[in-house]
Amino acid sequence: MGNDGGSIPKRRELVKNSARAKTTTELRETLLESLTHLWTFCPLSSLPLDHTNTVSDARGRLYNYESVLQCLLPGADDDGGASGVPEAEAEAFRESGIKGLKDVVKVRFAIRKDDKGREFRACPVSLKELGAATRAVYLVPCGHVFAEAAMKEISESESKEGDERHCPECSEAFEEGNVIPILPTSEEEIKRLRDRSEDLKARGLSHSLKKDKSKDKKKRKADEAANGDSGHGVNGKGKKEKKDKDANGIESRINNPMTASLTAKVLAEQEQNNKRRKMAEGLRREAVR
């Protein structure tokens, strides 16, 4: 056709080529591209990861601390969405399973510079650049990050000597089960992290090995509900009536219905803002500790 020596491909050839399975090299390149993106950008905000302010969850995923903190703040809507957070980011945060700062650990990268002045994350032991091309792990609870190969050699040498395992950077003791791979890809690693999370939950601990108080709160609320008809319940009812009286005190003394309604709305918004501010201060104090 056109005397150019070419040929028109037949339909079966087109279908055969489109249905061709990817080669091992192509699969490896696709995986490397995906890992590079996850090592570079926060999956919540899609902003570049801050090397000095990065946290990781129980599944080894990396986030910007500010993005997690913003998503943890109480939302202005009734659906529980985060205040000032786009819907896509709020949905990604809900899928992450993070319920509080205890569910993440701040990862501590060793930052180095090359000859051109470019900063990069490096293993403090092997000095290799950490990223998609190098398998990396971090330790809980200290959060220091190492190349997996270097950490494996250190762990094997300490196990032969019979000594307790310690972080090469801060000398804090850690257990072998608390070596968390960053962005794991194998089914074995993913299953191990899933089993670890279930075991910690059964022991009342969070990913950061801090005590999970959510069960205690649920139990306390259940006990209060069960004892609602006791003397304690009467006191609780009195407190509720007093609270309702204080909340409705100002607008009940306003004769104009429209003004009273507007005043009640403003007071409700002010109370909601106070709750958000107190929760934000509590989260910041917890992060400092």
pLDDT digits (tens, 9 = 90+) for 39-92: 999 999 999 999 999 999 999 999 999 999 988 887 634 444 445 678 888 899
Burial of 276 per CB tally in 10 Å (0-12, 13-18, 19+): middle
Q: What amino acid is encoded at 41 in this protein?
A: F
What letter does residue 146 receive in the DSSP assignment? E
Q: Cα–Cα distance between 129 and 134 in angstroms, integer?
A: 7
pLDDT band of residue 3 (cuts 50, 70, 90) is low
pLDDT band of residue 222 (cuts 50, 70, 90) is low
pLDDT band of residue 212 (cuts 50, 70, 90) is confident
What pLDDT shows up at residue 257? 63
Give the count of beta carbons closer than 10 Å to the beta carbon of residue 133.
11
Q: What amino acid is encoded at 64 in this protein?
A: N
pLDDT band of residue 272 (cuts 50, 70, 90) is confident
User: What φ, ψ does residue 123 adopt, rounded to 5°?
Assistant: -75, 125
pTM of the model: 0.68
User: What φ, ψ does residue 56 adopt, rounded to 5°?
Assistant: -135, 150
Q: Is 171 left (phi over 0), alpha (psi -120 to 50) or beta?
A: left
Token code pair at residue 269: 């918004």
CA angle at 209 for the pair 40 and 179, rounded to the nearest 5°:
55
Q: Cα–Cα distance between 189 and 12 in angstroms, integer?
A: 41
Q: Are 92 and 44 in contact (CB under 8 A)?
A: yes
Average pLDDT, the chain: 80
Q: What is the pLDDT of residues 277-287, one digit of tens each?
A: 788 777 777 76
Q: Mean pLDDT check: name the lowest of 70-74, 118-122, 234-238.
A: 234-238
pLDDT band of residue 155 (cuts 50, 70, 90) is confident
Q: Are 213 and 204 in contact (CB under 8 A)?
A: no
pLDDT band of residue 21 (cuts 50, 70, 90) is confident
What pLDDT shows up at residue 242? 47
What pLDDT shows up at residue 192? 96
What pLDDT shows up at residue 261? 66
What pLDDT shows up at residue 168? 92
Question: How far apart, in Å, are the Cα atoms of 32 and each of 29, 38, 39, 118, 134?
Answer: 5, 10, 10, 21, 10
pLDDT band of residue 103 (cuts 50, 70, 90) is very high
In terms of pLDDT, which residue wins out, 146 or 243? Answer: 146
What pLDDT shows up at residue 259? 54
pLDDT band of residue 214 (cuts 50, 70, 90) is low
What pLDDT shows up at residue 19? 58
pLDDT band of residue 24 (cuts 50, 70, 90) is confident
What pLDDT shows up at residue 221? 63
Q: Is the pLDDT of residue 217 over 70?
A: no
Q: Is the pLDDT of residue 256 over 60?
A: no
pLDDT band of residue 233 (cuts 50, 70, 90) is very low
In terms of pLDDT, which residue wins out, 56 or 5? Answer: 56
pLDDT band of residue 139 (cuts 50, 70, 90) is very high
